[in-house]
Every structure is written in structure tokens, then in C-alpha cells.
Amino acid sequence: MPTGRTDELEQRFGSSVASAITAAYLATIERTSGPGGVLQLSTDERLAIVRALVREAENGRADARHLVEIALATVQRARGAV
């Protein structure tokens, strides 16, 4: 999660939703990393993930599994795979 954003998310959504957003973000980073854990996502892709996760939380859909699916779908869309 971008530096300083976790506190902002906690203030906005509460700690459980902030934790779910952060976990989904980190899981997506992990799943999309290359060999040796090399980051494969651009800054724009990471920003798109955060925006999508926040949008889902705003709409009341903050289930951890759902957020990971949204984040991965966001990466696919950003890469033109969907």
C-alpha cells in the first residue's frame, strides 16, 4: 500500500476494511511479481488497483476475497487482457 495511505483508509473506512484493502493490494503485488519477487506493476497499475479497491469499499463490498478478485481484474484490464 502506498506510504501513509493505511492511516487514511482506517480513518475513512475503519480498521477492518482498511486491513482488507491493504491485504488485497499486497496479495495482488505478490501474485503479479516476477521471479525473485521483482515488482511487475507500473505506478499507474498500482494506482488503478488502489482506486478500484477504494471504490469497492465505498460501495460496501469489502470482503477480502472479493477485493483480491477486483484487484487482479484491474491489473488484467490495465494490461488489455480483458
pLDDT at 68: 95
pLDDT for position 5: 74
- At residue 72, the pLDDT reads 94
- Amino acid 6: pLDDT: 80
Number of domains in the chain: 1
Q: Which domain holds residue 15?
A: 5-78
- Per-10-residue mean pLDDT, the chain, length 82: 74 93 93 80 90 96 94 90 59
Query: How many helices and strands in the chain, by DSSP H and E?
Result: 4, 0
Q: Which long-range contacts (CB under 8 A, 24 or more apart) does 4-10 make?
A: 5/50, 9/54, 9/57
